[in-house]
Structure 1
Amino acid sequence: MSTYVFDTKHDRYPLAVHIFLVRRERTLLMRRAGSGYADGQLGLPAGHVDLGETPTACAVREAEEELGISLQHADLMPGTTWFRMSQEPRVDIFFTAATWHGTPKIHEPRKCTELVWADPAQLPSDALEFLGVAWNDIHNGRILREYGFATTSA
């Protein structure tokens, strides 16, 4: 069996997943803390995909790590994919899930200080600015968006 050698000839972009956990027309938001990015703002359960991990496996792992809930791959519905400028260019995959096992609770208090259920169509003003756009993309069938770049529209 040959050993895999990571390709260093091409630029790589961080790949992250975001999960809209939806119940009774509300989605779960987490107040960010301690990361240096958007601390104090409301975001989704999310995380970076590890080398060798699939996006769905990452979403399952992050839901367990951040909230103590169990998602199955079949619970996750792909919504939209973005090439987004943040602190650097990145690729984001947004999922929705309407079923899971367990009750969401803060499992990483150094990264999250509050859980908030909100109407995804009318998110609180302190939610990350791109979440409403992502929610609209999912519900309007937009599968790809380039977001936050000077040469493209938001």
Structure 2
Amino acid sequence: MTWTEPATWYANLASFYAAAAAFITDPAGNVLLVKPTYRDFWAFPGGYVDEGEYPHDACAREIREELGVAMVVGGLLVVDWAPPVGQRPRAIVSFTFDCGSIANLDALELPRQELEDVAFFARREAKQRLPENVKARVDAALRARAQHAPVYLAGGSAVPNVLRG
């Protein structure tokens, strides 16, 4: 067996992007979404993980940048592996964290060049406003929160018998 130099070994491994999102609800269980200025659909607060950054730290940073507040990033709710598609040459692994509940939107300060709106939506309406490949994260996050166990999705779909929540 031939030994491979670590630099060569790691250079040949698959690579992917990572994203982190905050799952926030109001006391009635409505889901907080933001409306980016550069997309036609709504999203969970969040974004890409920077090089050298842990996903939970990226989530906290994105909350500060997008909502103008500091929030505690709680447990992991959902991991969703999205394969490469279209012009995106790499997969994305998306981490959705439980960031609790807030009573209203009064303290939030949106960066208007990036986000045009923020609102709470009932589960069904939140799913209608999200892109097709993201909407399953709403039910998965609610299930994970209730069962205190993360849910694994692959391409926005539940994977039977794998880390079932």
Q: TM-score, normalised by structure 2?
A: 0.71
Q: Does 1:119 align with 2:117?
A: no
Structure 1 residue ranges without an equivalent (≥5):
none
> How many residues end up aligned between the 2 structures?
139
Q: Does 1:84 align with 2:71?
A: no
C-alpha separation in 1, matches of 2:129 and 2:139: 18
Which of 92, 98, 101 aligns to 2:100? It is: 98
Larger % of helix: which?
2
Note the C-alpha offset of 1:22: 1.3
CA RMSD of the aligned region, Å? Answer: 2.8
Q: TM-score, normalised by structure 1?
A: 0.76
C-alpha separation in 2, matches of 1:134 and 1:92: 10
Which of 5, 19, 43 aligns to 1:16? It is: 19
Paired residue for 2:59? Answer: 59
C-alpha contact 2:134 2:156 (8 A) present in aligned 1: no
What SS class does the counterpart of residue 126 from structure 2 fall into?
coil
What SS class does the counterpart of residue 135 from structure 1 fall into?
helix
Structure 2 residue ranges without an equivalent (≥5):
1-6, 145-149, 161-165
Paired residue for 2:44? Answer: 44
What SS class does the counterpart of residue 104 from structure 1 fall into?
coil
Identity of aligned residues (%): 15
Change (3 A) 1:139 1:115: closer
Change (3 A) 1:103 1:113: same
Paired residue for 1:143? Answer: 151
Give deviations 1:44-99, integer Å, cap 9, x for gaps.
Answer: 11111111111111011000011101023xx4221010111355321001112115
Larger radius of gyration: 2
